[in-house]
Amino acid sequence: MTSPDLTARILDEVDGLADRMVNTLAEAIAVPSINPRYPGQEYSKVVGAEGEMSALLADLYAEAGADLTMVTVERGRDNVVGVLPGAGGGRSLLLNGHVDVVPPGRLDRWHSGPFRAVVTDDRVTGRGATDMKGGLVAAAYAAVALRRAGLRLAGDLVLQAVVGEEVGDHEAGTTAVLEAGFGADAAIVCEPSGQRGTLPAVVPVTPGLLWFSITMEGKTAHSGLRGMTVHPTLEGDALGVNTVDKFWIVYQALRALEDEWAGHDRHPLFPPGYFNLLPGVLRANPSGILVPFFLADELTVEYCVYHHPGRTNEEVMAEIEARVADACRRDPWLRAHPPVFEWKLLWPPYVLPDDAPIAATVAHAHATAAGQVPLTTGFMGVCDLTWMDRKDIGGLVYGPGVGYTAHAENEYVEIAQLVQSAKTYALTAVSWCGLETG
């Protein structure tokens, strides 16, 4: 705990850095650090910007007095770690964030270019403003504020800027950094923890994430024969099978499962109906032909699944496959030509134990800075807490951003959230790590 005078000094230092914080975030947005392994990207044209973003943060870490280390698994994709060594006798704290962003989407829908920040009195707009360059910048300036306040922590403060998170490439990012020896007693992942533009929330739980594809086989025929293939008294499957029609059977089965989840897979920190199965990509066509003059005999659909954190990935995968198999058994064609699953990404959920002290520490720091108790909620997506947990590091999500704009055009962060987050990080570090004595 800090004295009122010391708390006021820390908060004043952060307030004094607010303009710089905004300017640095604008510089960060100008770095087009799209994850080069994001589907649809040409790796050689994109790789390297993540490293530029890490270099920008390294300068701030150095200003805060941190010892710098670059951890690099792939050339051009540097992770940077800044360690502010403690005087001894205190707990260590990790502030983690990812430097990679998703592609900008439709350029014509941006009010300005996605990598040219638009700054107004209350917000900063640009790709990565919310997810999650705002959090990285706030964490760095929290450390700068502590130094400007003349404080040295008792325990280490570890700052991590990592690559790869947007595609689950933790082996090149967070896991690589942890395996290089840069862990801590507790962690804050500085992802956006608010959704509607409110102050950041405390987030101790994330859902599980699955990405899978289903491939279906049909039988092509002339488009003029469609009626004969679908009318129950005519030729049917013997003449042709349109995979788009057969997919409707699979879609309805998984849509029904989604409704069941909304009814019984409830969690107090997630809204009812949050856990879902999204058919986000659909490709169907006659083999090698992109005109509708044939029955489509090829189809691939890709699903993204968010599931209840109390369930394992394996349990949910088995349920999905069983539900599809059951629906297909009722259709003669699909019974003989079952859909083929490919599981592409398996991201386990994360749950912070109820008695973990880091949650109360962050909540108290937030309340001190904001004058109100923070919300506690579940995370909208997934994050690297999962991989920290595998290294026996517990933590939570807390950071600036408007979650509803993440991955969308005109993504933005509120400036008040940046400042609030930096204050919370700084006060948490003092409370958690302790201060040098003597």
Q: CATH 3.40.630.10: which residues of the chain?
A: 4-206+350-433
Q: What residue ranges of the chain have pLDDT lower than 70?
A: 1, 438
166 is catalytic: yes
pLDDT of residue 237: 87
Active-site residue, selected from the candidate residues 100, 131, 156, 191: 100
Task: Give the residue among 125, 204, 211 at the shortest CA–CA distance from 383.
Answer: 204
Tokens of 405: 């704009």
Q: Which residues contact 45 (CB under 8 A, 6 or more apart)?
A: none
Architecture of domain 4-206+350-433: 3-Layer(aba) Sandwich (3.40)
pLDDT of residue 231: 83
Interior angle at CA 3, CA 429 and CA 421, nearest 5: 35
- The Cα-based distances of 207 to 154, 307, 381 in angstroms read 34, 6, 7
Q: Is the peptide bond before 132 cis (omega within 30 degrees of 0)?
A: yes
Q: CATH 3.30.70.360: which residues of the chain?
A: 208-347
DSSP assignment, residue 254?
Answer: H
Alpha carbons 345 and 200: distance in angstroms, whole number:
28
pTM for this predicted structure: 0.95
Active-site residue, selected from the candidate residues 131, 156, 165, 166: 166
pLDDT of residue 235: 85
DSSP assignment, residue 319?
Answer: H
Interior angle at CA 155, CA 200 and CA 375, nearest 5: 15
Please provide the DSSP assignment of 114-182 as one string: TTS-EE-SSEEESTTIIIIIHHHHHHHHHHHHHHHTT--BSS-EEEEEES-GGGT-TTTTHHHHHHTT-
Alpha carbons 158 and 92: distance in angstroms, whole number:
7
- The Cα-based distances of 143 to 58, 61, 70, 94 in angstroms read 12, 7, 18, 12
100 is catalytic: yes
pLDDT of residue 377: 96
DSSP assignment, residue 108?
Answer: G
**Which residues on neighbouring strands pair with residue 435, listed in sequence order?**
153
Task: Give the H/E segment covering residue 425.
Answer: helix 415-433
Alpha carbons 421 and 142: distance in angstroms, whole number:
8
Side-chain-side CA neighbours of 396 within 13 Å: the count stands at 26
pLDDT of residue 195: 80
Please provide the DSSP assignment of 370-393 as one string: HSSPPPEEE-SS--THHHHHTTT-
Q: Which residues contact 88 (CB under 8 A, 6 or more apart)?
A: 154
Task: Give the H/E segment covering residue 186.
Answer: strand 186-189
pLDDT of residue 438: 66
For domain 208-347, give the CATH number.
Answer: 3.30.70.360
